[in-house]
């Protein structure tokens, strides 16, 4: 009887240490990656894209505090991003004139407080109800702000927007922000802090209650929580972090226009969060990185990048509603059971066939674009030169689509079956 | 002054009836499926573009019939292949799906027809002033719009209240399970209503395209206003949608015609404000400038104070 008592403390200590390593190790690794990332790239464009990604990640995570954790679908989250950004830009201009003392590194906090103030204002009435009413009010507020931006010229700067200059503000500890690389470290710092804070928020009682209110508001009320107040707190926190992202945007781009808080910006963050997966904390991070990467990459090659992202978004909604992160998490049991090897074959086959279909669809769309633009002659598509005004390329790409689609219809169910077989618990 | 009021009322009626053609389909779809269809205005835009293309080859009158049929079939397809699939994931997923469809339609329109606005013209047969009052004239095309809209209103009204199909639709609104028990194919009723709603939106696009412009942003411009109408009228209520359409139409047309600023109005009442202060933008704002905001203020107020809308019987 004495042996278990003697060994348990060691076992418990071992488990606890493993848990601690898992918990803090991940964050440490993330911090190291953030620090080393700029060293691994040479071009300035890559730094600019990474800056954009960092801002997008904070924004998407703050959006998911509403949608994923609180069950509130907002069509106007960019309002808090934009207002925080505008306030930060004005404060930066004031600091540049010497009217107040405020160094650049603290500016995102100003944006965050601005976002928080407006979130408290609009949230006071919009969080009274969830569901469609909340979505409609958020849409109404977004349209309201879009229309107001045409009226309040002084604050929103009309068509040209508000420009600012980050190099004129006073320095903190001699830190200069003249180059993109220096701004990267500022964004990386705030990205780390904000992500940590948002993760911590989701673990607090308020964060847990947000989940409870999302799933069963009536029961949460019976336990003694006001669903309005729980939603309000989540909404304010989301507005605060969106404002931080807006403040970083002001520092990075030194310009803000009314477009930054328009419906399209609000739609983009919904796309990011949903493609990444709203059910997991890392989902919006993945989504924001993928979205920004695709956006910057595709916009080099085609003018229709939003069309491709829209197709990706609709495909996610229809076929993978759990998003990228959800899809990965689904495979955690298989990974732990060390059966990933068995999935490799069916997955690679399905993926290859899906790729064939995607190439065909992209080819067809690009040719439609070419013909609709009224151009003649040839253009490069992937690895070959095609003449869209002739019949052959259309037949070729259509054949790719058909072959890929038929193939996926055949291999898809087999891949799903292989997954179900591999994730079945117990011995193989 | 009489002239201004007379023409504002007429234009408001035309605009309001146009809104009704869009909102009637939207409110029926919401009432049945509980989903606010973000893509509704996209079907309106598709209607205008398809009619423009058909009109180039066949003329305006065939386009008036062909475009709504094509878009209606497309709408039914979207319901059958997309919306029904996401239905099991809940209302939020449906809302997100229709949002995605709206993005996609806008991009496809830009892909096929290009970014610049199309010169979709009023047909020559209707391009004359119908009558004159003092110095202003009223175009015949606007009268035609009014006639079409009233005909549609009568059509929907008769179908819903006087026919067997209308009875089934009305019953499916409130008691879908019971209707299914009685042996009706409720999902098919949904699909048909979705298709007809899309066709009505497309018809509105066909007749509004020449007046309000045919450009890739036209869905976004009108889409949010139609939401406002449906919410103010009460979700699922046809009569509410009718009243709210006319209300918004007339309020907006009147507001646009008024060139009075807030500061000016206060000054007329004997209150003088410092127009150079920090809020100086606020005092200079004219009613015409506020016009685009008004519907959204009404929307937010309605949702806060009376979530059932004017004539709605249930909350959103």
Residue A208 in contact with residue A158, Cβ under 8 Å?
no
* Residue B114 structural domain: 2-216
Paired tokens of A13: 């200590």
Q: What is the CATH number of domain A14-289?
A: 1.10.3470
Q: Do B303 and A136 touch (CB under 8 A)?
A: yes
The answer as to whether B282 is a domain residue is no
pLDDT digits (tens, 9 = 90+) for B122-149: 777 777 777 777 777 778 888 888 888 8
| Predicted local confidence at residue A114, as pLDDT | 92
**Phi, psi dihedrals of residue A279, rounded to the nearest 5°:** -85, -15
Helix, strand, coil % in chain B, rounded to nearest 5: 75, 5, 20
The CA distance from A351 to A90, in Å, is: 49
pLDDT exceeds cutoff 90 at B308: no
When the pLDDT of each residue in chain A is averaged and rounded to a whole number, the result is: 84
pLDDT exceeds cutoff 70 at A1: no
Spell out which residues of chain A touch residue B93, defining contact as CB-CB under 8 Å: 317, 321
| Predicted local confidence at residue B172, as pLDDT | 80
The answer as to whether B87 is a domain residue is yes
Spell out which residues of chain B touch residue A274, defining contact as CB-CB under 8 Å: 96
CA B110 to chain centre: 21
Residue B82 in contact with residue B97, Cβ under 8 Å?
yes
Interface test with A, best of B96, B233, B295 (most A CBs within 10 A): B96
Q: Do A372 and B101 touch (CB under 8 A)?
A: no
Tell me which residue of A253, A255, A94 sits closest to A180, measured CA to CA.
Answer: A253
Count Cβ atoms below 10 Å from residue B218 Cβ, excluding itself. Answer: 23
Give B194 or A373, the one with higher predicted confidence: B194
| Interface contacts A/B by beta carbons within 8 Å | 119
Q: Do A136 and B36 touch (CB under 8 A)?
A: yes
Spell out which residues of chain B touch residue A154, defining contact as CB-CB under 8 Å: 280-281
Paired tokens of A196: 């940590």
Count Cβ atoms below 10 Å from residue A206 Cβ, excluding itself. Answer: 15
The CA distance from A178 to A195, in Å, is: 25
The answer as to whether B181 is a domain residue is yes
- Domain limits, chain A: 14-289, 332-422
| Predicted local confidence at residue B273, as pLDDT | 59
Q: Which residue of A has its CA nearest to B30?
A: A132
The answer as to whether B62 is a domain residue is yes
Q: Do A143 and B86 touch (CB under 8 A)?
A: no
pLDDT digits (tens, 9 = 90+) for A14-30: 667 777 777 788 888 88
The CA distance from B18 to A421, in Å, is: 56
Q: Chain B: nearest CA to A146, how far in angstroms?
A: 9
pLDDT digits (tens, 9 = 90+) for A307-366: 888 888 888 888 888 888 888 888 888 887 777 777 788 888 888 888 888 888 888 888
pTM above 0.90, yes or no: no
Question: What's the CA dihedral at B142, B144, B149, B152 to 10 degrees?
Answer: -170
The answer as to whether B103 is a domain residue is yes
pLDDT exceeds cutoff 70 at B261: no
Q: Do B107 and A307 touch (CB under 8 A)?
A: yes
When the pLDDT of each residue in chain B is averaged and rounded to a whole number, the result is: 82
Complex ipTM over 0.85: no
Percent pLDDT > 90 in chain B is: 12
What one-character-per-residue DSSP string does B177-204 give? HHHHHTT--HHHHHHHHHHHHHHHHHHH
Percent pLDDT > 70 in chain B is: 89
| Predicted local confidence at residue B259, as pLDDT | 64
Q: Strand B129-133 vs strand A384-386: parallel, antiparallel, or unpaired? A: unpaired
C-alpha pair distances (Å), B226 with each of A101, B69, B295: 47, 22, 10
Number of structural domains in chain B:
1
Average pLDDT of A370-383? 76
Tell me which residue of A314, A306, A311, A318 sits closest to A265, measured CA to CA.
Answer: A306
pLDDT band (50, 70, 90) for residue A379: confident
| Predicted local confidence at residue A3, as pLDDT | 44
The answer as to whether B222 is a domain residue is no
| Predicted local confidence at residue A4, as pLDDT | 46
The CA distance from A58 to A194, in Å, is: 7
Q: Do A267 and B86 touch (CB under 8 A)?
A: no
pLDDT band (50, 70, 90) for residue B280: low
The answer as to whether B246 is a domain residue is no
The answer for A 304-363 residues in CB contact with B (under 8 A) is 304, 306-307, 310-311, 313-314, 317-318, 321
pLDDT digits (tens, 9 = 90+) for A153-197: 778 887 788 888 777 776 766 667 777 778 888 899 999 999 999
| Predicted local confidence at residue A5, as pLDDT | 46
| Predicted local confidence at residue A181, as pLDDT | 78
Average pLDDT of B247-268? 74
pLDDT band (50, 70, 90) for residue B265: low
Nearest to A317 among B86, B281, B307 (CB): B86
The answer as to whether B275 is a domain residue is no
Q: Chain B: nearest CA to A135, how far in angstroms?
A: 9
Q: Do A147 and B296 touch (CB under 8 A)?
A: yes
Nearest to A314 among B104, B114, B292 (CB): B104
**Phi, psi dihedrals of residue B68, rounded to the nearest 5°:** -60, -35
| Predicted local confidence at residue A37, as pLDDT | 80
**CA atoms B143, B212, B105, B221: torsion sign:** negative
| Predicted local confidence at residue B276, as pLDDT | 55
pLDDT digits (tens, 9 = 90+) for A212-258: 888 888 898 898 888 889 999 999 999 999 999 999 999 888 888 88
pLDDT exceeds cutoff 50 at A103: yes
Task: Give the DSSP H/E element, type plus range, for residue A246.
Answer: helix A227-253
């Amino acid at each position: 009887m004495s042996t278990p008592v003697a060994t348990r403390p060691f076992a418990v200590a071992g488990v606890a240490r493993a848990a601690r390593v898992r918990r803090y190790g991940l964050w440490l690794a993330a911090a190291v990656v953030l620090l080393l990332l700029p060293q691994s790239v040479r071009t300035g464009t890559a730094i600019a894209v990474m800056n954009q990604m960092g801002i997008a990640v904070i924004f998407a995570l703050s959006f998911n505090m509403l949608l994923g954790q609180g069950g509130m679908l907002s069509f106007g989250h960019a309002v808090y991003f934009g207002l925080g950004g505008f306030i930060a830009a004005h404060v930066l201009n004031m600091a540049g004139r010497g009217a107040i003392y405020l160094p650049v590194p603290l500016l995102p906090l100003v944006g965050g407080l601005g976002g928080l103030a407006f979130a408290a204002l609009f949230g006071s009435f919009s969080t009274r109800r969830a569901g469609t009413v909340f979505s409609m009010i958020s849409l109404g507020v977004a349209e309201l702000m879009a229309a107001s931006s045409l009226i309040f010229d002084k604050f929103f700067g009309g068509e040209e927007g508000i420009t600012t200059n980050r190099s004129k503000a006073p320095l903190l500890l001699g830190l200069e922000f003249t180059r993109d690389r220096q701004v990267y470290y500022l964004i990386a710092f705030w990205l780390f802090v904000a992500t940590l804070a948002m993760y911590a928020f989701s673990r607090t009682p308020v964060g847990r209650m947000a989940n409870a209110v999302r799933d069963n508001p009536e029961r949460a009320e019976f336990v003694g929580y006001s669903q309005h107040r729980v939603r309000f707190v989540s909404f304010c926190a989301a507005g605060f972090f969106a404002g931080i992202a807006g403040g970083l945007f002001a520092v990075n781009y030194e310009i803000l226009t009314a477009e930054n808080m328009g419906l399209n910006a609000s739609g983009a963050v919904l796309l990011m969060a949903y493609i990444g997966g709203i059910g997991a904390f890392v989902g919006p991070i993945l989504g924001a990185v993928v979205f920004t990467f695709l956006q910057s990459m595709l916009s080099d090659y085609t003018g229709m990048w939003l069309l491709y992202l829209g197709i990706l978004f609709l495909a996610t909604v229809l076929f993978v509603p759990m998003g990228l992160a959800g899809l990965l998490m689904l495979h955690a049991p298989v990974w732990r059971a060390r059966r990933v090897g068995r999935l490799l074959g069916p997955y690679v086959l399905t993926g290859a066939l899906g790729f064939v279909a995607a190439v065909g669809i992209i080819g067809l769309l690009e040719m439609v674009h070419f013909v609709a633009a009224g151009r003649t002659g040839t253009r490069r598509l992937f690895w070959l030169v095609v003449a869209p005004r002739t019949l052959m390329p259309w037949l070729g790409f259509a054949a790719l689509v058909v072959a890929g689609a038929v193939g996926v219809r055949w291999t898809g169910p087999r891949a799903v079956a292989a997954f179900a077989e591999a994730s079945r618990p117990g011995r193989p | 002054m009489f002239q201004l009021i007379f023409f504002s009322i007429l234009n408001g009626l035309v605009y309001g009836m146009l809104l009704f053609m869009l909102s009637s389909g939207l409110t029926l779809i919401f009432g049945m499926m509980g989903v606010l269809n973000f893509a509704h205005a996209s079907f309106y835009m598709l209607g205008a573009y398809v009619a423009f293309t058909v009109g180039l080859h066949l003329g305006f009158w065939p386009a008036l019939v062909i475009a709504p049929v094509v878009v209606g079939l497309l709408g039914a397809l979207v319901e059958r292949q997309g919306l029904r699939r996401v239905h099991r994931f809940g209302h939020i997923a449906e809302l997100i799906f229709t949002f995605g469809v709206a993005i996609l339609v806008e991009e496809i329109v830009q892909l096929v027809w290009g970014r610049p606005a199309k010169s979709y013209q009023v047909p020559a047969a209707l391009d004359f002033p119908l009558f004159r009052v003092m110095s202003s004239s009223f175009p015949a095309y606007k009268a035609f719009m009014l006639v079409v809209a009233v005909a549609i209103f009568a059509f929907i009204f008769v179908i819903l209240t006087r026919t067997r199909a209308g009875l089934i639709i009305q019953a499916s609104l409130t008691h879908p399970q019971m209707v299914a028990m009685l042996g009706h194919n409720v999902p098919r009723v949904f699909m048909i209503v979705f298709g007809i709603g899309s066709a009505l939106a497309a018809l509105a696009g066909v007749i509004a395209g020449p007046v309000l412009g045919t450009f890739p942003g036209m869905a976004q411009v009108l889409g949010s206003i139609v939401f406002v109408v449906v919410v103010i009228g009460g979700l699922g209520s046809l009569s509410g949608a009718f009243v709210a359409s006319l209300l918004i139409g007339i309020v907006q047309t009147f507001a646009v015609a008024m060139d009075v600023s807030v500061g000016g109005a206060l000054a007329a009442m004997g209150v003088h404000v410092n127009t150079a202060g920090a809020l100086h933008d606020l005092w200079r704002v004219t009613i015409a400038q506020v016009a685009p905001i008004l519907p959204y203020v009404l929307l937010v107020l309605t949702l806060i104070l009376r979530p059932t809308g004017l004539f709605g019987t249930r909350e959103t």
